[in-house]
Amino acid sequence: MMARGLFIAFVLSFGPTVSNSFARFAYALILPAMRDDLQWSYSQAGWINTSNAIGYLAGAVLTRLLVVQLGNRALFCGGMFVTAAALVGTGMTADLTLLAAMRVLAGLGGAAVFICGGALSANIFPDRPQLATTTISIYFAGGGIGLMLSGVLVPPALAQLGDASWPIVWRAMGYAGFAMALGTVWAATRIVEPGAAPGGAAWRLRPFLPELVAYAAFALGYIGYMTFVIAWMRDNGASTATVVLVWSALGLATLLAPAVWRKPFDRWSGGRPMAAVMLVLAAGALVPLVTTGALAMTASAVLFGLAMFSVPSAITSLLKRSLPKAAWGSAMATFTSVFAAGQIAGPMATGWLADLSGSLRPGLTASVIVLVLGALLAFTQPALASGSR
């Protein structure tokens, strides 16, 4: 029974592999080839990832509205197939408008997968809630595994087939997404549907403003790096082998991050956990501006991977300590919406600065500054108790 439940969690983890690693982050690996083949400006390249963020924001809002009526299982399974179809569609057109539409669709489906899959993974052992932390960790590990897979497979494929082969890579990820979707349907149908509370306890936003604004800064800063860092490396002569090494290190670091941050999250109060994570993130984003050597970029990826998925964890930790359980859903929805909105502006702003200056350096520098400012804001977040309710 135990082994079966853990296997279900593993198969369910194909969700973040498709929704995050393939549909969102693999774009950074394919962007240099698309930009060269389609003769895009950096603003156009940024717009394509901004489109994905717009879809993610819309998907997060729709998921919040529809989960009570449709349930987590239906939205998760539907989101998997929508995301896979969007990946295939991305590889079937070179038109900027249609590509943007596919990226919006991928964001819509990806949001439903990521959010509802998290709820399902927590309910794999409904009679043993103490195991929820384990199954949730296995589920979200799919994102790191997907980063490693795409890092190992995508750059060599593009190097061998040429820049014009980028549609083949998108379609291949889409077909893999469909295969993974079938597996996740099997897993999801073996999980008891979690209850979805239509309402929640009242809570006040004002005491959380430092952390909320810091979360917006995180979204603005991290997405610039995750969109353009490979293009920056390629512009500075990085080889395919270096790209594979860096992206694989990024994925591996995300898998190690929960163990690294467990004690600080347990022991530190207020905004200190998030401030520390964002400073590590800023350090990782700063390295490429100093040097793009293989060892330095690997260190950058490790730092970034250790922090990237840990910022939402820091938010979750603060909210769970400060609010009654009935208010967690509403509070997380508010923070997720702010995060999704921040992601919309990041790629476009970085691309616009690059076109204006002729280099990605100003945009990547702005990302570092925003992340540092976010860390300072997070540090001012006090520990909260009953007064925050």
- pLDDT band, very low/low/confident/very high, at 325 (cuts 50, 70, 90): low
Rounded to 5°, the CA angle 354-47-351 comes to 10
Tens digits of residue pLDDT in 193-227: 876 554 556 778 889 999 999 999 999 999 889 98
pLDDT score at 378: 93
Task: Say what the pLDDT of residue 387 is.
Answer: 46
Work out the number of other CB atoms within 10 angstroms of the CB of residue 199.
10
Instruction: State yes or no: pLDDT of 10 exceeds 90.
Output: yes
Token look-up 């149908």 returns 189
Residue 347 has pLDDT above 90, yes or no: no
More confident residue, 248 or 327: 248
Whether the predicted pLDDT of 1 surpasses 70: yes
CA distance 208 to 187: 37
The mean pLDDT of 88-116, rounded to a whole number, is 94
pLDDT recorded at residue 334: 81
pLDDT at residue number 51: 94
Rounded to the nearest 5°, which phi and psi values hold at 315?
A: -60, -50
Give yes or no for a contact between 220 and 370, defined as CB atoms under 8 angstroms apart: yes
How far apart (Å, rounded) are the C-alpha atoms in residues 222 and 349?
12
Of 150-154, 158-162, 255-259, the range with the lowest mean pLDDT is 255-259
Whole-prediction pTM? 0.86
Question: What mean pLDDT value characterizes the chain?
Answer: 89
- Tokens representing residue 139 in the block: 């589920």
Average pLDDT over residues 55-76: 88
Q: Residue 326's pLDDT is what?
A: 67
Return the pLDDT at 11.
95
Alpha-carbon gap, residue 342 to 370, rounded angstroms? 11
Taking alpha carbons only, the member of 221, 383, 182 closest to residue 304 is: 221
Indicate the range of 74-88, 121-135, 155-169, 316-330 predicted with least confidence: 316-330
User: How sure is the predictor about 15, in pLDDT bands with cuts at 50, 70 and 90?
Assistant: very high
